[in-house]
Amino acid sequence: MRTVARRVLQLVVVVLVVTFFTSILTSLLPGDPVTTIAPFSSVQTRADIREQLHLNENVVQRYGIWLKNFVTGDMGREYAGTDIKGASISQRIKDTLPHSLLLMLYVQILTLLVAVPLGIYTAYRAGHLADHASNAIGFFLVSIPVYVAATIMILLFSVNSYGIHLPSEGWVALSTDPAQHFSHLVMPVVAIAIGQIAVYGRLLRSDMVATLQEDYILMAKSKGMTNGRILWRHALRPSSLTLITVAGLNVGTLVSGALIVEVIFHLNGIGYAIYDAINRRQYIALQDYVAVVAIVYVLVNFGVDILYRVLDPRIRNA
Amino acid sequence: MLESAEFQADSVHAGAEVAVEAPPAFKKKGIGVVSWIAIGWLGLITSLAILAPYLPIKDPQFADFARPSAGFFTPGHLLGTDDAGSDVLSRAIWGARSSLAIAIGAVLVGVVVGGFLGLYAGFRGKKTDTVLSSLFNILLAFPQLVLALTLVSVLAPAAASGGSESAGHDFYSKRLFTVIIAVGIVSIPILARITRANTLAWSQREFVMAARAQGAKDRRVMFRDVLPNVLPAILSIALLGVAIVIVLEGALAIFGLSIPLPYASWGNMINSQISQLDAAPQVWLVPSILIVFTVLSLNYLGDVVRSHFDVRESAI
């Protein structure tokens, strides 16, 4: 319990430091940040932006103000021009973040659904043709970037519609139309999952191979248990620890993948918001979106770490 | 289902394989045909990239207005042209120049800065280690792409506008430099962490103690005794790092933050067609294929180096 408390404390510190980094982002802009954000604005607007960014205060004060706004959920608005009220940043985060999280969840589910049976099977057939073939194919799949997989799929299934036609643009809410929801997400999810499946499958395989050497597996076999039961019930759990570690290490790849497919498939997620903010020079908004992504990333890693402790009794109190 | 006897035979076989996977320390192994193919491919791409200005290829920005969006094997354009009529082959070669410059440059920044910091942290330990390690951890708390995106967009605010103001070779070099530095910063903590972990392990060894007992100075022990042993780990990660950065450059291009048009990089060739994939598929298919094969080669060689020198996975 004490270790968990310490991890939570660490988490809080990391979140604070990370958000501090993002909040001083604007001060990294070369020259006057206001000129970069709104190059042709009036003196009054410049003063307003200066006020909004709290550029007259020092870095620590600025962070304090930003943190207060961030926690209370009032992050101001995007700059849209003189006397025009831009979109609310907080609202945009509320709208987009669930999309990104759902996308990542689907990727993770698909990955596990394919990678776990694959890992078990290749471990069981270690050294055979199926194992070598899947290893070689896996090596190839890992080397395909998300955007290459995505563009090739769009060409095949949206532009040319070989066999099936899949929509390549936009987000449809699950509650609006479940069928459309999933058909819009098939390609984005598969594009990210391809590489992940290969990584997970390979690592599970190597751990499974080691587990299958253990005495208790021999014991189970000598009691006459079926292979399926041995593999799924006795060997999977001790072998799945690596899977959790990889899941933790892979969160970054997952987040990056999600951001990229959001831009390519125009899914209204936080990645698309970042893309939009960069291309419209919305640096006030950008720093909030980046902070949100970083916090999600840190939290997911934290979750993985806790899960690891739950699954492995040996390190629970270490 | 399969017979239990076969299952047992399998696990025995698997056992034999596991034994093989941990090679005896002094056994010399060849690197195999596939490795040579990978090295050959990388050599080819690298020499094309270096020799681009001297090769008998078209100007990558020259627009052949008579033949825009021409397919493969059009006379005069082996790999076709893009929608402006520029030669895809020559853009792919010049693109290799940008992409490899970014990848190798960024990884070099990572290896030199990250390697040194990691070596220093691992060797000195105590407070130095605590301070440096927490610095690495802060940088690692951002997903790589997000950190790279943020750094490029902040360091090069003219990014978004592209086109009109991007004229001039000077702008190209500046952006190349910005991307290298931004991605280099992203790679520093990764390389530093690996170097640190390996340094910690090697610093405990007897020969390091012996060197110290003989009165060798810290700097000598660090660079003469520890560094050569840590290098294989750094090398294998650096190879993977180059692969990762090549992919990352494409991702930056998707966000409009890599080399701006009309200059070519593999990433911006793909991005330039992303909203009209069927208009001239060769424009994005060629760099896509080049990226996949280059990354595949690097991943494979990284793996070979790792198993050759028995770099511990746990150190990563």
C-alpha distance from B203 to closest chain A C-alpha (Å): 25
Residue A137 tokens read as 């194919």
Over residues A36-48, the mean pLDDT reads 72
Over residues B90-99, the mean pLDDT reads 88
pLDDT of residue A83: 56
pLDDT of residue A42: 74
If one compares A78 and B168, the residue with the highest pLDDT of the two is A78
pLDDT of residue B220: 80
Tokens 């020198």 — which residue? B309
A213 closest CB neighbour out of B15, B142, B255: B15
pLDDT at residue B244 above 80?
Answer: yes
**For residue A220, what are the contacts with CB-CB under 8 A and spacing of at least 6?**
A229, A230, A234
Residue B310: what residue type?
D
Least confident of A236-240, B50-54, B300-304: A236-240
pLDDT of residue B15: 41
pLDDT at residue B22 above 80?
Answer: no
pLDDT of residue B102: 92
Q: Is B22 exposed, middle or buried (0-12, 13-18, 19+ CB in 10 A)?
A: exposed
pLDDT of residue B108: 93
Over residues B58-68, the mean pLDDT reads 71
Least confident of A98-112, A220-234, B86-100, B246-260: A220-234
Over residues A133-160, the mean pLDDT reads 87
Count of alpha carbons within 13 Å of A246, Cβ hemisphere only? 24
Residue-wise burial string across A179-199, b where 16 or more C-beta atoms lie within 10 A, e elsewhere: eeeeebbbbbbbbbbbbbbbb
Q: How far apart are CA B121 and CA B186, in angstroms?
A: 18
pLDDT of residue A201: 85
Over residues A309-315, the mean pLDDT reads 68
Over residues B58-86, the mean pLDDT reads 71
Dihedrals phi, psi of A92, to nearest 5 degrees: -65, -40
Q: What is the pLDDT of residues A178-228, one digit of tens each?
A: 888 888 888 899 999 998 888 888 888 888 887 777 777 777 778 877 777
pLDDT at residue B285 above 60?
Answer: yes
C-alpha distance from A174 to closest chain B C-alpha (Å): 26
C-alpha distance from A263 to closest chain B C-alpha (Å): 7
pLDDT of residue B169: 67
The third-level CATH classification (topology) of the domain covering B78-315 is MetI-like fold (1.10.3720)
What proportion of chain A, given as a percentage, has pLDDT over 90? 6
Q: Which residues pair with A45 in a beta bridge?
A: none
Over residues B69-75, the mean pLDDT reads 69
- Residue from A194, A256, A267, A295 whose CB has the most chain B CBs within 10 Å, to mutate: A256
**Cβ B160–A281 below 8 Å, yes or no?**
yes
If one compares A194 and A318, the residue with the highest pLDDT of the two is A194
Res. B26 pLDDT band, cuts 50 70 90: very low
pLDDT of residue A68: 84
If one compares B162 and A249, the residue with the highest pLDDT of the two is A249
The B residues from 285 to 304 touching A (CB cutoff 8 Å) are: 288, 291-293, 295-296, 299-300
Interface residue B254 vs chain A (CB under 8 A) = yes
Over residues B107-127, the mean pLDDT reads 87
pLDDT of residue A178: 80
pLDDT at residue A53 above 90?
Answer: no
Residue A308: what residue type?
Y
Res. B106 pLDDT band, cuts 50 70 90: very high
Minimal CA–CA distance to A275: which of B144, B246, B159?
B159
Over residues B96-102, the mean pLDDT reads 90
Q: How far apart are CA B269 and CA B84, in angstroms?
A: 12
Q: How far apart are CA A147 and CA B273, in angstroms?
A: 12
Task: Identify all chain A residues contacting B142, using CB atoms and an 8 Å cutoff.
Answer: 18, 21, 290, 293-294, 297
Task: Report the chain B residue with the minimal C-alpha distance to residue A207.
Answer: B18
**Cβ B255–A297 below 8 Å, yes or no?**
no
* Full-model pTM: 0.81
**Cβ A29–B157 below 8 Å, yes or no?**
yes
pLDDT of residue A316: 57
C-alpha distance from B17 to closest chain A C-alpha (Å): 7
Res. A33 pLDDT band, cuts 50 70 90: low
Task: Identify all chain A residues contacting B143, using CB atoms and an 8 Å cutoff.
Answer: 251-252, 255-256, 259, 293-294, 297
pLDDT of residue A84: 61
pLDDT at residue A260 above 50?
Answer: yes
- Residue from B254, B283, B284 whose CB has the most chain A CBs within 10 Å, to mutate: B254
Cis, peptide link before residue B262, omega less than 30° from 0: yes
**Cβ A143–B296 below 8 Å, yes or no?**
yes
pLDDT of residue B7: 39
Angle among Cα B244, B246, B248 to the nearest 5 degrees reads: 65
What proportion of chain B, given as a percentage, has pLDDT over 70? 78
Helices (H), A30-88: 33-37, 43-53, 59-72
Contact A105, A193 (CB under 8 A): no
Task: Identify all chain B residues contacting A297, using CB atoms and an 8 Å cutoff.
Answer: 141-143, 146
Name the range with the highest mean pLDDT among A97-101, A119-123, A280-284, B16-20.
Answer: A97-101
pLDDT of residue A110: 92
A264 closest CB neighbour out of B1, B137, B254: B254
Centre a 10 Å sphere on the Cβ of residue B273 and count the other Cβ atoms it contains.
22
Minimal CA–CA distance to A137: which of A198, A206, A209?
A198
pLDDT of residue B103: 92
pLDDT of residue A30: 62
Over residues B269-296, the mean pLDDT reads 84
Interface residue B240 vs chain A (CB under 8 A) = no
Res. A31 pLDDT band, cuts 50 70 90: low
Q: What is the pLDDT of residues A151-165, one digit of tens each?
A: 988 888 888 777 788
Least confident of A73-82, A126-135, A145-154, B42-51: A73-82
pLDDT of residue A250: 79
**Cβ A123–B14 below 8 Å, yes or no?**
yes
pLDDT at residue B109 above 90?
Answer: yes
Res. A1 pLDDT band, cuts 50 70 90: low
CA B197 vs CA A19, A317, B118: distances in Å: 27, 24, 8
Residue A98 tokens read as 């669930």
Name the range with the highest mean pLDDT among A124-128, B67-71, B288-292.
Answer: B288-292
What proportion of chain A, given as a percentage, has pLDDT over 70? 89
| ipTM of the complex as predicted | 0.82
Q: How far apart are CA B71 and CA B79, in angstroms?
A: 7
Dihedrals phi, psi of B129, to nearest 5 degrees: -65, -45
Contact B288, B210 (CB under 8 A): no
Tokens 């069927």 — which residue? B278
Task: Identify all chain B residues contacting A145, using CB atoms and an 8 Å cutoff.
Answer: 247, 250-251, 288, 291-292, 295
Interface residue B279 vs chain A (CB under 8 A) = no
Contact A141, A197 (CB under 8 A): yes
**Cβ A221–B150 below 8 Å, yes or no?**
no
Over residues B71-95, the mean pLDDT reads 76
pLDDT of residue B162: 44
Over residues B32-43, the mean pLDDT reads 87
pLDDT of residue A315: 59
